[in-house]
Amino acid sequence: MRTAIFGQGYVASILAVGLQRIKEGEIGYEGIPLADTIPKSIEDIELVLAFDIDGRKVGRRLSEIAEEYWGRIDFDCDYEVKRGFSGGMNGMWNSDGESEDLEEVIGRLVDEYERNDVEIFINLITTERVQPFFDADKMERAIKENDVARLSPSQIYFYSVAQYERQTAFINCIPAHIANDPACVRIAERNECVIFGDDGASGATPLTADILEHLHQRRRRVKCIAQFNIGGNTDFLTLQEPERNLAKEETKSSIVKDILGYDVPHFIKPTGYLEPLGDKKFVAMHIPYISFNGAEDELIITARINDSPALAGMLIDLIRLAAIAIERKEFGTVYPVNAFYMKMPGPREALATSKMRAYEMLKAWVGYESIDFGGREGLKTA
């Protein structure tokens, strides 16, 4: 499972470190939801290529970059980070600050994919807000007309993957609308590409979703929801920009009405950057609700969560599930996978659901059934 990454940040680096440590027997499968229960070996994942626009990373080896986060480690594939693409509504173009023709950019990217025999791609670039196209012809026309201002980096990366002449998968872990854009889904279907997305659900949002499901199943009436995150990593820093923060807020807030069946006043979004917190973000949640005979109860939850490792562990599953989807030729987007792993699961018309419900859908899609091991649930081939 030869994999490329767009955005060589902390998530990508900790994914590479953790995967290498698993291969060397240093750590187990903690934090990987499906672990060793699907018919694709974790040890067969190969990270072979990455792109970034940060001049401090482009041209450097994975081992050099990861050392800043973790310490010295010898990787099976110590790839060199290649120059990526930055453009679209922020007005910046390539990493040298110069204009590039979009078709030339796509050709340059595809050449790298071919040289490295990549099959699976993960989008981990900085959070951006993306305007969906809805119509595939409009998206392709914008590329042919070199409409840089209309296209985001995520859309360019996805389109380049779809143009790569082999069956592929694009895993979108940021709030950009890819699996939720009918234009991208249509292009993926006709170009034999799988899309998983949008926006990896690895922290507080899946917990909120399951709490709302719990309250809904017990017919308790939620009055309002307050949930906020404060962190000190680069992602939280960039979320200080209003457009990026709004993109993240949209994916976090989409769960409320879908799960409860009604909307309530809610505030669910990243709210601040505090450098000393680092990657271990602070989460707080307050949910008051009405119970039987008008009784008023409330849930108050606080947590500290290592942000990047939580997503990196899920990526181990998503890479392997992408390989399964390619083998099955399930091109376009795959809701049972998206529902469990993503905050805003595609396709666009699909509802968000609790992760408890999504887990059962995911098991059915993979082809496993539940068994009981002395009170603990496991999985086996159906």
Q: Give residue 91's pLDDT.
A: 40
DSSP 85: B
Whether 77 is covered by a domain: the verdict is yes
Task: Looking at the structure, tell me whether residues 117 and 190 fall in a common domain.
Answer: yes
Q: Are residues 130 and 229 in the same domain?
A: no
Q: Cβ contacts of residue 256 below 8 Å, gap of 6+? A: 212, 225, 263, 264, 266, 268
Q: How many CB atoms neighbour CB 111 within 10 A? A: 11
Distance between CA atoms of residues 231 and 274, nearest Å = 6
**What's the per-residue H, E or C state across 134-178?**
CCHHHHHHHHHCCCHHHCCHHHHHHHHHHHCCCCEEEEECCCCCC
pLDDT of residue 377: 43
Angle 260-264-270 from CA coordinates, rounded to 5°: 100
Q: What is the pLDDT of residues 220-263, one digit of tens each?
A: 999 999 998 888 877 777 766 655 445 444 555 567 888 898 99
Q: Considering the domain boundaries, does residue 59 fall inside one?
A: yes
The boundaries of the domain holding residue 229 are 204-306
Question: What pLDDT shows up at residue 118?
Answer: 97
* CATH number, domain containing residue 293: 3.30.360.10
Q: What is the pLDDT of residues 49-85, one digit of tens each?
A: 999 999 899 999 999 999 888 888 999 999 999 999 8
| DSSP secondary structure of 278-330 | TTEEEEEEEEEEE-GGG-EEEEEEEEEEEHHHHHHHHHHHHHHHHHHHHHHT-
Q: For 58-89, give one letter per residue: b (16+ CB within 10 A) or e.
A: bebebbebbeeebeebebeeebebbbbbbbbe
Q: Are residues 144 and 50 in the same domain?
A: yes
pLDDT at 368: 65
Q: Contact 374/206 with Cβ under 8 angstroms? A: no
Amino acid 243: pLDDT: 52
Based on the domain organization, do 209 and 196 belong to the same domain? no
Predicted pLDDT at 250: 54
Assign 43 to helix, strand or coil: helix
Name the nearest CA neighbour of 72 among 81, 62, 80. 62
**pLDDT, position 181:** 97
Residue 339, in any domain of the structure? yes
Q: Is 382 within a domain? A: no
Q: Does 119 lie in the same domain as 154?
A: yes
User: Which pLDDT score, from 0 to 100, does residue 242 have?
Assistant: 57
Q: Is residue 313 part of a domain?
A: yes
CA distance linking residue 187 with residue 193, whole number of Å: 8
Q: Which of 281, 306, 331 is a domain's end point?
A: 306
Beta pairing partners, 331 = none
For the entire predicted model, the pTM comes to 0.86
Residue 348 lies in a domain: yes
Is there a single domain that holds both residue 242 and residue 351? no
Q: Do the domain assignments include residue 113?
A: yes
pLDDT recorded at residue 96: 53
Number of domains into which the chain is organized: 2
Residues 52 and 154 in one domain: yes
| pLDDT value of position 255 | 79
pLDDT for position 117: 96
Question: Is 134 found in the same domain as 44?
Answer: yes
94 membership: H or E segment, kind and range: none
Asked whether residue 170 falls in the same domain as residue 223, the answer is no
The CATH number of residue 188's host domain is 3.40.50.720
Neighbouring C-beta atoms of residue 296, cutoff 10 Å: 10
Are residues 180 and 322 located together in one domain of the fold? yes
Is 194 in the same domain as 228? no
- Low-confidence residues of the chain, pLDDT below 70? 87-100, 239-254, 368-382
Do 267 and 252 meet the contact criterion of CB atoms below 8 Å apart? no
Asked if residues 255 and 343 have their Cβ atoms less than 8 Å apart, the reply is yes
Is 375 part of any domain? no
